[in-house]
Chains A and B, each alone.
Chain A
């Protein structure tokens, strides 16, 4: 493929062959986070109080449960991408990066799955 054309490098076909995908996903998830986090903040402010019954009845509804599920996926995904960039800057050995990304990936999936199961349990009347 040689040096590639300049438009090819712009499209992410430079020497690393990747990177723009990560960058774009960071933006796509950021757009989702803007919408979903505004929903969460406004919803919290509109709740009359933070008693168990109040919060439980709110989150158990279909729309809040769906939005909370999406928020979990979108924020954890965005956080995982962002923490990768931070770790890449401060960890200089490949073994260290391997270990850090292994922990980061497991924590991300564990957090998303646990959160989704909590929301499902609340929405489907298990709690």
Chain B
């Protein structure tokens, strides 16, 4: 698609615009979105956190101020959701890697359950933090 030359305009395979949406499709896309979100924002904040700790009490206070702001909290909640969602759909990948769970009904069921588990674990994690 990024090619401008007509000679390089190769036919493209059908993409998300023409398929009827199904649960497996959504879970697959969420796995990619949450994985790449973790790779950029998750690891970014992890390194920011370790760097601020290694920098001493003052730099750690800066980190707490930054991540404790409304925007910072949105980022933290987003990272935690991305982690638990990617964790749940990653376990689903392991199950499918051994050849299980490809039957239509079973596959659709776990495709729906997986992102729900991700949201539930995220809520449980923050409940545990706030109720500590």
Interface residues of A (CB under 8 A from B): 27, 30, 33-34, 37, 41, 44-45, 48, 50, 52, 55-56, 59, 68, 72, 75-76, 79-80, 82-83, 86, 91-93, 96, 111, 114-115, 117-119, 121-122, 126-127
Q: Which of B54, B55, B94 contacts A30 (CB 8 A)?
A: B94
Q: Report whether A118 and B50 are in contact in the complex, using a CB–CB cutoff of 8 Å.
A: yes
Q: Report whether B53 and A127 are in contact in the complex, using a CB–CB cutoff of 8 Å.
A: yes
Q: Which of B3, B39, B47, B64 contacts A92 (CB 8 A)?
A: B3
Q: Can you identify 6 A-B contacts, CB atoms within 8 angstroms?
A: A34-B90, A37-B83, A44-B129, A92-B1, A115-B46, A118-B53
Q: What 8 A-B pairs are tightest by C-beta distance, nearest first?
A: A79-B39, A118-B54, A118-B50, A52-B60, A121-B54, A52-B57, A127-B54, A82-B35
Q: A45-B129, A111-B43 are in contact. Are A68 and B50 (CB under 8 A)?
A: yes
Please tell me if B11 contacts chain A, counting CB pairs below 8 Å.
no
The binding surface of chain B is classed by DSSP as helix
What residues of A have a CB within 8 angstroms of the CB of B97 in the complex? 27
What residues of A have a CB within 8 angstroms of the CB of B54 in the complex? 117-119, 121-122, 126-127
What residues of B have a CB within 8 angstroms of the CB of A96 in the complex? 2
Q: Report whether B53 and A122 are in contact in the complex, using a CB–CB cutoff of 8 Å.
A: yes
Please tell me if B110 contacts chain A, counting CB pairs below 8 Å.
no
Q: Report whether B50 and A119 are in contact in the complex, using a CB–CB cutoff of 8 Å.
A: yes
Size of the chain B interface, CB-CB below 8 angstroms: 33
Q: Looking across the interface, which residue of chain A has its beta carbon closest to that of B32?
A: A86
Kindly supply a per-residue 1/0 record for chain B positions 30-46, scoring 1 wherever the CB is within 8 Å of any chain A CB and 0 otherwise. Answer: 00100110110011001
In Å, the complex CA distance between A82 and B93 comes to: 14
In Å, the complex CA distance between A29 and B132 comes to: 32
Q: Report whether A52 and B61 are in contact in the complex, using a CB–CB cutoff of 8 Å.
A: yes
What residues of A have a CB within 8 angstroms of the CB of B90 in the complex? 30, 33-34
CB neighbors of A among B1-37 (8 A): 1-3, 32, 35-36
Q: Report whether B43 and A118 are in contact in the complex, using a CB–CB cutoff of 8 Å.
A: no
Q: Looking across the interface, which residue of chain B has its beta carbon closest to that of A71?
A: B46
Q: Report whether A115 and B83 are in contact in the complex, using a CB–CB cutoff of 8 Å.
A: no
Q: A45-B129, A92-B2, A115-B46 are in contact. Are A56 and B53 (CB under 8 A)?
A: yes
In Å, the complex CA distance between A126 and B56 comes to: 10
CB neighbors of A among B66-91 (8 A): 83, 87, 90-91
